[in-house]
Chains A and B, each alone.
Chain A
Amino acid sequence: MAAEILAEGVCYQYSRSSQMALKDVNLRIGKGEFVAIIGPNGSGKSTLAKLFNGLFVPTKGRVTVDGLDTRDRENVWKIRQKAGMVFQNPDNQIVATVVEEDVAFGPENLGVPPEEIRRRVDEALEIVELKDYAQKPPHQLSGGQKQRVAIAGILAMRPEYIIMDEPTAMLDPVGRKEVINTVKRLNREEGKTIVLITHFMEEAVQADRIIVMSEGRVLMEGSPREIFSKVDELKTIGLDVPQVTELAHRLKGRGLAVRSDVLTIDEMVECLCPLL
């Protein structure tokens, strides 16, 4: 049985829509990978994420998680245990009236023993810095705090595949970095597979592989360096590159001898120092 999420010839059409939201998508997410999905608004990212954990089933084609076909209703339970998701809008995701109960909801459903749940909830709240808010009603939190609750929920569940749909959209810059660092740690140290949907190119840079969606199709796939060296192509479909990548691209255009595939501030510093 292959350890992977596999999408084969996947099409998806919302019931009240005349158009296909996804058109013939073929993708493989291997176990242990850290994959970022980027793409313009409406390109099908969230739809794809919901197909990955069996929340939606393909209109055509098939999705399998570790060999389990999401169309087979008997598999739904197992698939949900393997593939956990943080939704785009944390507001729609909150189920309990107290923060720590909300975080405990996932592991409770998985039948994790109570002491273990306690440990996981405390740890998850610690990571997202909401310990002081454990007893609060979630609807009384700020936007970013709610998003942190949703992230804590999936951390406490510890699924094999962690699918996050714009998890950092409402976080402050330091909070954003912390979440990405946590995700990277789960990936490196615990071998969790990460699928990160994001509009922040600085976050996508940190993945092993980037998938670019456009109008319901997979437009490009590759390493961050491959993808972000295509500055003009990305801009054509409404995407962007990190500020330093853009700067390198422009300086190169002005005749300066710099690499055009710079991804981070530190790389840019090394690249510029000999010239300045």
Chain B
Amino acid sequence: MSSEAQDLEKLTSEEYKYGFVTHIEMDTVEKGLSEDVIRFISAKKEEPEWLLEWRLKAFRLWQTMEEPDWAFVDYPPIDYQDISYYSAPKMKERPKSLDEVDPELLDTYEKLGIPLKEQEMLAGVAVDAVFDSVSVATTFKEKLSDMGIIFCSFSEAVKDYPDLVRKYLGSVVPQGDNFFSALNSAVFTDGSFVYIPKGVRCPMELSTYFRINSLGTGQFERTLIVADEDSYVSYLEGCTAPIRDENQLHAAVVELVAHDNAQIKYSTVQNWYPGDKNGKGGIYNFVTKRGKCAGVNSKISWTQVETGSAITWKYPSCILQGDNSVGEFYSVAVTNNRQQADTGTKMIHIGKNTRSTIISKGISAGYSSNTYRGLVKIMKNADGARNFSQCDSMLMGDTCGAHTFPYIENHNDSAQMEHEATTSKIGEDQIFYCNQRGISTEDAVNMIVNGFCKEVFRELPMEFAVEAQKLLGISLEGSVG
């Protein structure tokens, strides 16, 4: 073996950094799913009757639905009765400030690089942390509320802002939208809620960290962001989970609503545990994310960097309803070892002069499979709609696969659409060129891959971009030899 190959071997053995387990007393419901379990969850959360009914309706719909099988992913059947649908750190009451949060929990977030305490003190990012099913802390709340911004856990929102929640919940992703959204609607336990009032520009990045800790639980969070007229918000989402041999299910729903002239920028760095080298364990990430540009001149951009999860099934989409509204999707999806990703977007052009941009970068290594699946749909009245799509795939080695399924449905002759797609192999030539200038293979791969993803990374807020670059390096370690 050449010394280079040995280096790479060593690097591959580097393990998932966030794989530790927090030992903390949990309140967990027995495995299985039934109306009783849903009533239990709803009662635990002291929810109003309408929400319980909403959940039950979702559950009944779900029971009539089939798990989708059209995605380019392959996994053994999931036993939905073998999952616990509620798990929460034992807390007597919801903590009023960080001082009341269990130090073990805070310690966990430290290890993840999210010191909540410091976050609160230093200016910068407001964080909502969701541990298994419940939100444990939201920082910066007061400062934000002075501006009329609501940023809290979903459960709190249900209690404190029931009218807003009731108005928007399910308005973008209805309960019966798809199998996983129905499941989520029935059993979701927490998540984040954001409301930006008219004319307010949120002065800081709002951020949620999701963490799956308990064994045998699923995580079903629900995020709802509403940007009222002339407002702006940038929202970041990060995720990690401990190393488990079992697969764990994560089925989240995210709904965004942008009113007239409002802008929502939603960025995700998804680093759930991907399973080991041979594909044992890892998170099944089956997520429904959709934004509605309800108002004129509104804009929603999705930026995602997906490096984790055993299976990713995710299509952050935009419904461009308001005239002149804009939808954007910037994505980097990295798969290594046995990971499978089927991800992309849908841009539904309804209003006039609506525009959408899709930039997708797929990087596959090892034995992984990486699929881009996208739909651009131009409705009959969407005069002057425009779309630009660019889907680039990069392959590392000969044992991985990349697939591209760009669907177009056009019902209006005035639409302009452009589609570009490339597939490249990370070149021995490129690596040698870097080596010949003194740059190590590891650094060369990092540099080349980051260059490949540049158009996406530059859409991320600065700190997130740095983190994403590092993550990419870690995910791909040992994939070129």
Bind each other: no
